Structure 1
Amino acid sequence: MWQSDHVEIRRATAADVAGIVALLADDPLGAARERPGDPRYDAAFAAIDSDPDQLLAVADEGGAVVGTLQLTLTPGLSRVGATRATIEAVRVRGDQRGDGLGQRLVEWAVDVARERGAVLVQLTTDASRTDAHRFYERLGFVPSHIGMKLPL
C-alpha cells in the first residue's frame, strides 16, 4: 500500500468496482466498450480477486476511486523460468491528471512486481492513445514489441 496526504494506493475491493468501471468508461474508447452497472463486472472482479497472480489496485481519495490499474504476474519458462508482470487498464480521473498520480500508480505497480520476483514489467496501450505512449516512455518503458489481438 502507498499513501500520500490525500491519496492511498491499495488493493481494490468489491465496493470499488463501480468507481473503477466509471474510470474505464470515461474516455472515447471506454465509452464505446464499457457498460457501467452490468453485473458481469462483479463476476470479473471476483475472478481477479481470487487469483493470487492478479492485483487490481485503486488510488483512493477519501473513499473515492480516482485511479486504477491491474497488475498480472505471469510465470513462464522463457528467460530461464522468469516471471513477467503486465500492467493494464491504467486510468486516472480527469481532475487528477497532471499531478503525478498516474506516475505513482505505475511506480507502485513496478515496486510490487519487483517484490513478487518479476524480471520485467510490460504493458499494452491502445495504438490511438498517443498521450499515454509519451507518458509510459517518460517512465522508462520502451516500445519493443508489436501487440496483436484476436477478438473471440
Structure 2
Amino acid sequence: MHPTPTFREATRDDLPQIVGLLADDALGAARESPGEVLPEYYLRAFEAIADDPRNTVIVAELDGVVVGTLQLTYIPSLTHRGGERAQIEGVRVAADQRGHGIGQAMITWAVEQARVRGCRMIQLTTDRRRPEAIRFYQKLGFRPSHTGMKYHLNEP
C-alpha cells in the first residue's frame, strides 16, 4: 500500500519543483527551462494564475516533498445551458513516484473539486505522443469525445 498524497495550493516557492516536474519527460524537456533560478516568464505566469480566482495550481506532497502538480481552471460557458466546466492542465508526477497512485489521486481530487463547484463537465487534453497518459485518463473515465486542435503562436 502506497501512502496517500496531500494536496495544497502551490506557492511561488514551489515553482522550481513544478517546472522540474513539467520538464521531466521527452516532450517537456524540449519546451521547459527548469532550474533553481527560473526565467521571469514562469514567475509572471504563476502570478497571473494566483491572481485569477478561476485558476489554481496545486501540488501533491508526500512527507513534505512535492511529487505531483496540476493546474485546474474553471471556464464559464454559454454551452451546456450556461454550465461551467473545469479544465485540467499540466498534470505531472515525479518519475520515481509514477505507478503509485499519485496521478489517480490528483485527478480524483480535481474531479471532486469540480463536482463540488457545480461544474457540468471536466475536460483535459493530452498529447497524442503520450499513449500511456491517454490510457491512464481513459481508465479514470475520461473519453475521447472531441478532436483537439492548437495553433501555436511565437514558438521558440
Range class of TM-score, shorter chain? over 0.9
2:27 corresponds in structure 1 to: 29
Q: Give every structure 1 segment of 4 or more consecutive aligned residues whose post-TM-superposition deviation is greater than 6 Å.
A: none
Q: Which runs of 5+ in 1 are unaligned?
A: none
Deviations 1:113-148 (A, max 9, x none): 111111100100001000000000000000000000
Q: Does the 8 A contact of 2:4 with 2:102 survive in 1?
A: no
1:62 corresponds in structure 2 to: 63
Which stretch shows the higher mean deviation, 35-44 or 21-30? 35-44
- TM-superposed CA distance for 1:6, in Å, is 5.9
Q: Does the 8 A contact of 1:19 with 1:64 survive in 2?
A: no
2:46 corresponds in structure 1 to: 45
CA distance in 2 between counterparts of 1:140 and 1:6 reads 21
TM-score norm. by structure 1 comes to 0.94
Higher strand share: 1
Deviations 1:1-47 (A, max 9, x none): xxx95631111111111100000000000000001221211111000
TM-score norm. by structure 2 comes to 0.92
CA distance in 2 between counterparts of 1:63 and 1:35 reads 24
What secondary structure, in the 3-state scheme, does the structure 1 residue paired with 2:120 have?
strand
Q: Does the 8 A contact of 1:54 with 1:73 survive in 2?
A: yes
Q: Does the 8 A contact of 2:3 with 2:62 survive in 1?
A: no
Distance 1:6 1:140, change over 3 A: closer
1:118 corresponds in structure 2 to: 119
What secondary structure, in the 3-state scheme, does the structure 2 residue paired with 1:89 have?
strand
Identity of aligned residues (%): 54
Q: Which amino acid aligns with 1:33?
A: R
Cα RMSD, aligned residues only: 1.3
- TM-superposed CA distance for 1:65, in Å, is 1.3
Task: State how 1:118-137 maps to structure 2 within 5 Å.
Answer: 118-137=119-138
Q: How many positions carry a matched residue from both structures? A: 149
Q: Which amino acid aligns with 1:25?
A: A
Q: Does the 8 A contact of 1:68 with 1:91 survive in 2?
A: yes
Deviations 1:78-123 (A, max 9, x none): 1111001111111000111111110000000001111111110010
Which stretch shows the higher mean deviation, 61-70 or 10-19? 61-70
Q: Which amino acid aligns with 1:19?
A: Q
CA distance in 1 between counterparts of 2:144 and 2:90 reads 17
CA distance in 1 between counterparts of 2:92 and 2:23 reads 10
Distance 1:132 1:19, change over 3 A: same
